[in-house]
Structure 1
Amino acid sequence: MITGNENLLQISELNKEYISVFEQHGLGNYFKPENLSKTGRFIRLNTLLTSNNINSEHFINKLNQSLSEKQEVKENDNETLHFSAMLPCGLRNPFKELTESYFEENKALFKDLNYMMEGNVNHELSYYPLLDSITDENELPDVIMASDINNFFHRPFIHRFIENDVFEAVEPFIPNHYLQKEGFADPNKHYTMYTANMLVMVVDKNKLGDRKMPKKWDDILQPEFENSIIMRGENDFFCNAVMLPFYKDHGFEAIKILANNIKSGMHPAEMVKLAGKEDDKGTAIYIMPYFFSKRIKDKNVEVVWPEDGAIASPVFLLVKKDKKEQHKELLNFLFSKKLAELLKQRHFPVIHPEIDHKDLPETVKWLGWDFLNNHYIGKLKEDIQETFMEVWNKK
């Protein structure tokens, strides 16, 4: 009998025909093979249904009605995920390769470690929303690495887990001043602020024409940049890491102007291919991570690190207080100089005190903890997206 505490992989293995039921409710994406083998092992049925406003009792009864008396849910399949990492695209592959190599070299230490390392973009619209419905800390990994201002900063998660001191910051050293001078570390010592994905402007000078080169973020709100900017996004979602700072500085009016000035949304890897090309899909200004901007070698393209700072989209750790000792070897590696050097090679700022940042300009634009703590971030993001899409859809 299905109770709702089963994970999605268990459900799919019990009866393959169940997947069509989930597809009818718009949940088919969670049952794709590549997702089932990863997050499907750890997402509970009740959490998925609650987060999608589906009546759990009615839905589960429907599944049980078609369950044969001979069919039983396999036991001991609810795995504990010890370490999950949802990383920026520019960091995911080398981070995973180095980390898995270290695990392999130290098998005795990590033979029982259950982990998952993925690109953040894969989970921004799938896993993160489920966090608002999780009520049991045992459903969360022991050590979580995540990117951007996501659902880990939303009130449901904060009320259930942050305010109840489930997580405690890891502080192996006095952090490098580069990010800390902007107050990057969590003053309440729950989130461990690890690094940041630095967002900059990339300008195609041919498409810019006789318009003035933007030097600050405010500059791209000028009317002459209407339909002249590309940022990370899709048809119905655009990057919160970009829009939140604009809201902080200028309110919803800036969001409306930005929506009018955005030409399209795409992945940074696509932007790299377009910048400097004659392609009509391209534009004058791209907002992308600094890592991706370094891949562009076209002489007609200029990378602009804004005078008021590159936007620091956070990459952070959440570590369960009562699991820190159990995972001390993992944490020692995550804060090792070896991993810090990898971050620097990928143009990510580092908190390790022995790493310099001579390759990065000094100015950093960070939202700040006062802003994060004094706003209902989840609701604010919804309002920003709604305001943006209202203008965007009229275009």
Structure 2
Amino acid sequence: MYISKSMNIKTIIEKYPETIQVFKNIGFKGLENPAVLEKLADISLEKAMMIKKEDVDVFLGMLKQVIEGVQREDNAPKEATLMGLLPCPVRIPLLEGFEKYLSDNPDIKLKYDLKAAYSGLGWIKDEVIDKNDIDKLADMFISAGFDLFFDKDLMGKFKAQGIFKDLTGIEKYNEDFENENISLKDPRGDYSMIGVVPAIFIVNKALLGDREKPTSWADILKPEFARSVSLPIADFDLFNSILIHIYKLYGKEGVRSLGKSLLSNLHPAQMIEAKEPVVTIMPYFFSKMVPEKGPKEVIWPKEGAIISPIFMLTKAAKAKELDKIIKYMSGEAVGNVMANQGLFPSVNPRVKNPVNGRPMLWVGWDFIYENDMGRLIKECEETFNEGAKE
């Protein structure tokens, strides 16, 4: 702000229209009229106050007070909105930490709704995507959702408009995700992530018979494991990611073989108690429920655990309002809860992930940008179902 006694009335009002009412209070009229303002172009504030018999220093202070008040209001953070789904195993500790952070930062104006992952994303497809209404989409959105985020008919159509931007400020992801085998950070700078859900095997050795223990994704596609594998079909995000990765690694026939291997479709929480499957594929978190002594063994696939990313989309236009929330959600505190309590490896470079250097499989950004992911997922689902019926 710059304002002085020597400035003319026209300049002051044009630069700071909020001062009009202050001038009106001491008798100025017609200030909204350009012709009147033009006549005031040759009258300095000091001269005007002499004519009106007002103390110029007092009046100047009043003008500055009004201007500063408007500037504070303009610079104050506007209310932002946050919606999303949090992985069930860590939703409560994440919410507790988030609510404490908000209470410690009362200047943050935020309306949020963070549901459990099992709630599903039906609402966003019905209310936002189908109606093509980006205004109904939260300023910040957190969820896994392989098909949702990449399908050109779903969230992908908003991404194509340049609405989203990675605002985390993380230049390089955790070394578990940035090495010679994997590069998880979006090179185009649109999508950001906070972590991943890895898929691993639980092998019931008591049911193997004369079969060799499967240690790779290729193994479970072999004929000897037909009707022997339980898959997390109910977990759409992870299942779709598994389909896409198998397709990339082993082609359409690999997806068909995966369908042939299907014995049962269980929620991960049910898989631990399942008696029949020789192999269950589940999020790494549920491996904590496997007894140390017993017939079941946790296997980390030698090609790597297939991952389903947990995305954090942020509207570029809301960078200012979201700044503190973005820094918190992508920060070390959230990353540690994800990694230590949920066994969901974090992308934050300061977090020590529970993978001990074991590999993870990522389909790759080139593959994503070169394919129509929505169409490809549907084709993979059809091929998988064909195999499951054979």
Aligned length: 306
SS at match of 1:233: coil
1:331 deviation in Å?
A: 1.2
Q: Which runs of 5+ in 2 are unaligned?
A: 1-78
Aligned to 1:320: 315
In 1: Cα distance, 2:225 partner to 2:80 partner: 46
Q: Which amino acid aligns with 2:107?
A: L
1:257 deviation in Å?
A: 1.2
Aligned to 2:84: 85
Maintained 8 Å contact 2:303/2:361: yes
The aligned runs of 1:154-165 (5 Å cut-off) are 154-157=151-154, 160-165=157-162
Maintained 8 Å contact 1:259/1:391: yes
Maintained 8 Å contact 2:176/2:357: no
Worse overlay, 374-383 or 350-359: 350-359
Aligned to 1:285: 279
1:359 deviation in Å?
A: 4.4
The aligned runs of 1:184-263 (5 Å cut-off) are 184-234=184-234, 239-263=239-263
Q: Residue by residue, what CA displacement relative to the aligned partner does 1:164-196 show, whole Å, maximum 9, x if unpaired?
A: 211101232332221122110000000002211
In 2: Cα distance, 1:254 partner to 1:359 partner: 26
In 2: Cα distance, 1:81 partner to 1:292 partner: 35
Q: Which runs of 5+ in 1 are unaligned?
A: 1-79
Q: Note closer, same or farther for the CA distance 1:169–1:267 as it changes in structure 2 (3 Å cut).
A: same
Q: Residue by residue, what CA displacement relative to the aligned partner does 1:210-252 show, whole Å, maximum 9, x if unpaired?
A: 2111111111001110111001125999921211111111222
In 2: Cα distance, 1:304 partner to 1:238 partner: 17
Maintained 8 Å contact 1:81/1:140: no
Aligned to 1:114: 111
Aligned to 2:344: 348
Q: Note closer, same or farther for the CA distance 1:149–1:170 as it changes in structure 2 (3 Å cut).
A: same
Aligned to 2:143: 146
The aligned runs of 1:325-336 (5 Å cut-off) are 325-336=320-331
In 2: Cα distance, 1:197 partner to 1:88 partner: 9
1:209 deviation in Å?
A: 2.3
Aligned to 2:96: 97
SS at match of 1:316: strand
Q: Residue by residue, what CA displacement relative to the aligned partner does 1:277-314 show, whole Å, maximum 9, x if unpaired?
A: xx4xx311010011111221152211111111011111
Maintained 8 Å contact 1:179/1:349: no
Aligned to 1:57: none
Q: Note closer, same or farther for the CA distance 1:236–1:343 as it changes in structure 2 (3 Å cut).
A: closer
1:87 deviation in Å?
A: 2.5
1:351 deviation in Å?
A: 2.0
Aligned to 2:25: none
Maintained 8 Å contact 1:145/1:318: yes
Aligned to 1:371: 367
SS at match of 2:349: coil
Q: Which structure has the bigger radius of gyration?
A: 2
Q: Which amino acid aligns with 1:144?
A: F
Q: Note closer, same or farther for the CA distance 1:267–1:93 as it changes in structure 2 (3 Å cut).
A: farther
1:132 deviation in Å?
A: 4.4
SS at match of 2:153: helix
SS at match of 1:224: helix
In 2: Cα distance, 1:212 partner to 1:166 partner: 50
